[in-house]
Amino acid sequence: MARYVVDVMPKREILDPQGKAVLGALPRLGFEGVSDVRQGKRFEIEVDGDADEQRLDEVRRMAETLLANPVIEYYTVTAGEPQDDA
Amino acid sequence: MRIGVVTFPGSLDDADAARAIRLAGGEAVALWHGEADLKVVDAVVLPGGFSYGDYLRCGAISRFAPVMTEVIAAAERGMPVLGICNGFQILCESHLLPGALTRNDHRKFVCRDQRLRIENVRTPWTSSYAENAEVTIVLKNGEGGFVADEPTLARLEGEGRVVARYLDVNPNGSLHDIAGITNERGNVVGLMPHPEHAVEDLTGAGTDGLGFFTGLTALTAASGQGVP
């Protein structure tokens, strides 16, 4: 079993209203000095077989075709164990 | 004139779109997201709503529905396609139209009677309007902010592909006040406001939206055959 993590973030030039909402909430909760928040998505993907270059390419294609919209978002793919809740 | 209306899981405005088509003198044909069959229609409407619950991104999952394979192929052959609201989002995700629709800049769902200017009357969907006609059509969306990079915006403006523009207020942060655009060929139109809700005096803000549906039936009647 191979694991990959795909992080999808709104491009810098795209307004991120969700991030702005979080940014606005933090000072109200007493967190000071926060200058920016961007909100994105994280996908943890498990695939059969071993992690190799071909699998990595496949996950990149998943990101390109479905997980991210390249018009407004960028993505990064990382191979390895996703972080656990613990 | 047979105009298909696609129902996805989570579509809301398919019944209103079908009704608008009938009021305009066309025959509304129900199309199902899970069937790769356009039932020999002459045109297709992708209605508003929250297809697939807006999961992932608005329109991102719907784009890969079996019916969309056929819609995309037909649109590329020149068949008229109108995407309203969620339909517009699906057309952008399908790459039939450039750009993307993002969350409203003020973070609230907006529902209002919106004044618009119809700037391109060369598409089959807008041909019954006078150029630069000012109309009022209901708008309701949470993710209606049109964005595209500068070169794309310049092309849309330069080629007259902005079909409709917001007047008075920009309700969602759309760049260049864009409410609707068309593709290079002019057969595919995406529109954030809802003309199908503005077709009868009994409800809504009047009947300014009916033109989006009468234009197509008038074109077919004039040519005596289906739009290619």
User: Which pLDDT score is estimated for A19?
Assistant: 94
Q: How far is CA B159 from CA B82, B145, B180, in A?
A: 19, 21, 14
From chain A, pick out residues whose CB is under 8 angstroms from the CB of B149.
71
| Contact: B64, A72; criterion CB under 8 Å | no
Q: Is the pLDDT of residue B55 over 70?
A: yes
Q: Are strands B43-46 and B2-7 parallel, antiparallel or unpaired?
A: parallel
Question: B80 is written with which tokens?
Answer: 């008229």
- Report yes or no: A67 at the B interface, CB cutoff 8 Å: yes
The pLDDT tens digits of the residues spanning B120-163 come to 999 999 999 999 999 999 999 999 999 999 999 999 999 999 99
Query: DSSP letters of B73-96?
Result: HHHHTT--EEEETHHHHHHHHTTS
φ and ψ of B134, to 5 deg: -105, 120
Q: Dihedral of the CA atoms B129, B131, B132, B138 (nearest 10)? A: 20
From chain A, pick out residues whose CB is under 8 angstroms from the CB of B148.
71
Q: What is the pTM of this model?
A: 0.93
- Please, what is the average pLDDT of chain A? 92
Of all residues in chain B, the percent with pLDDT exceeding 70 is 96
* Residue located via tokens 């919106």: B114
Q: Are strands B2-7 and B27-32 parallel, antiparallel or unpaired?
A: parallel
User: Which pLDDT score is estimated for A86?
Assistant: 53
Q: Among all residues of B, which ones are annotated catalytic?
A: 85, 194, 196
Amino acid at the residue B18: A
Smallest CA–CA separation between A16 and chain B, in Å? 8
Smallest CA–CA separation between B175 and chain A, in Å? 11
| Contact: B147, A71; criterion CB under 8 Å | yes
Contact yes or no for B62/B72 (Cβ under 8 A): no
CATH class assigned to A2-13+39-79: alpha beta
- Report yes or no: B145 at the A interface, CB cutoff 8 Å: yes
The vertex-B159 CA angle with B155 and B165, nearest 5°, equals 85
Alpha carbon distance B8, A40 (integer Å): 26
DSSP A80: S
From chain B, pick out residues whose CB is under 8 angstroms from the CB of A67.
56
- Confidence band for B82, pLDDT divided at 50, 70 and 90: very high
Alpha carbon distance B123, A8 (integer Å): 36
Higher pLDDT, B178 or A51: B178
Smallest CA–CA separation between B202 and chain A, in Å? 36
- Report yes or no: A45 at the B interface, CB cutoff 8 Å: no
Smallest CA–CA separation between B70 and chain A, in Å? 18
Residue range B68-84: average pLDDT? 98
Of all residues in chain B, the percent with pLDDT exceeding 90 is 91
- Domain residue ranges in chain A: 2-13+39-79
Pick the closest to residue B51 from B107, B94, B19, B113 (CA basis).
B94
* Residue located via tokens 């040519």: B223
* Residue located via tokens 């992932």: B56
Q: Are strands B188-191 and B133-141 parallel, antiparallel or unpaired?
A: unpaired
Alpha carbon distance B164, B136 (integer Å): 11
User: Which pLDDT score is estimated for B44?
Assistant: 98
Contact yes or no for B188/B196 (Cβ under 8 A): no
Q: Around Cβ B206, how many Cβ atoms within 10 Å?
A: 16
- Confidence band for B226, pLDDT divided at 50, 70 and 90: very low
Which residue in A has a C-alpha nearest to residue B145's C-alpha? A15
The pLDDT tens digits of the residues spanning A6-22 come to 999 999 999 999 999 99
- Confidence band for B228, pLDDT divided at 50, 70 and 90: very low
All domains of chain B, ordered by start, with CATH?
Answer: 2-223 (3.40.50.880)
User: Which pLDDT score is estimated for A82?
Assistant: 57
From chain B, pick out residues whose CB is under 8 angstroms from the CB of A17.
102-107
Pick the closest to residue B87 from B116, B125, B58 (CA basis).
B58
- Please, what is the average pLDDT of chain B? 94
